[in-house]
Amino acid sequence: MIHITALYAGISGLFIIYMAKRVTDVRQKIKCGLGDNGDKAMQVAIRAHANALEYIPIALILIAFAEMNGWSAIWIHSLGGALIASRFSHAYGFTQSVGGASFFRFWGTAFSWLTIIVASVINIISYFS
């Protein structure tokens, strides 16, 4: 069973729905059914949602494999916590800076990458041990 990863998958699922709702809200506000109509707020909402969808699935898959391979709960919670914190940080920084550079966007991206790298290495180590 992968109970710990399930916790972070559940949190991630709710976060993705929240980001999708933000896209829907902007669509309704600017009356845009498809694309972004060249609207900056729409572009930011779409990309913030898409960015979460680009990083979260692979990270969760890697974390789940690490948990199935018997890595300790502290490792799995550390990876899951880092994933959630980094994705929230990125989304906050990205939306607050309207797609520009920001402290939270930078560190959200950096820790998302680090989470994926560490989880990848853990799974490679698991194969050889």
Residue 11 Cα distances to 17, 35, 53, 98, angstroms:
10, 28, 13, 24
Domain 3-128 sits in CATH at 1.20.120.550
Kindly report, residue by residue over 38-50, the tens digit of the pLDDT.
999 999 999 999 9
Domain ranges for the chain, please list them. Answer: 3-128
Q: The pTM is what? A: 0.94
Residue 73 Cα distances to 63, 67, 69, 86, angstroms:
11, 8, 11, 19
Q: CB under 8 Å to 63, separation ≥6 — which residues? A: 5, 8, 76, 79, 80, 83, 119
Kindly report, residue by residue over 58-68, the tens digit of the pLDDT.
999 999 999 99
Average pLDDT of the chain to the nearest whole number? 97
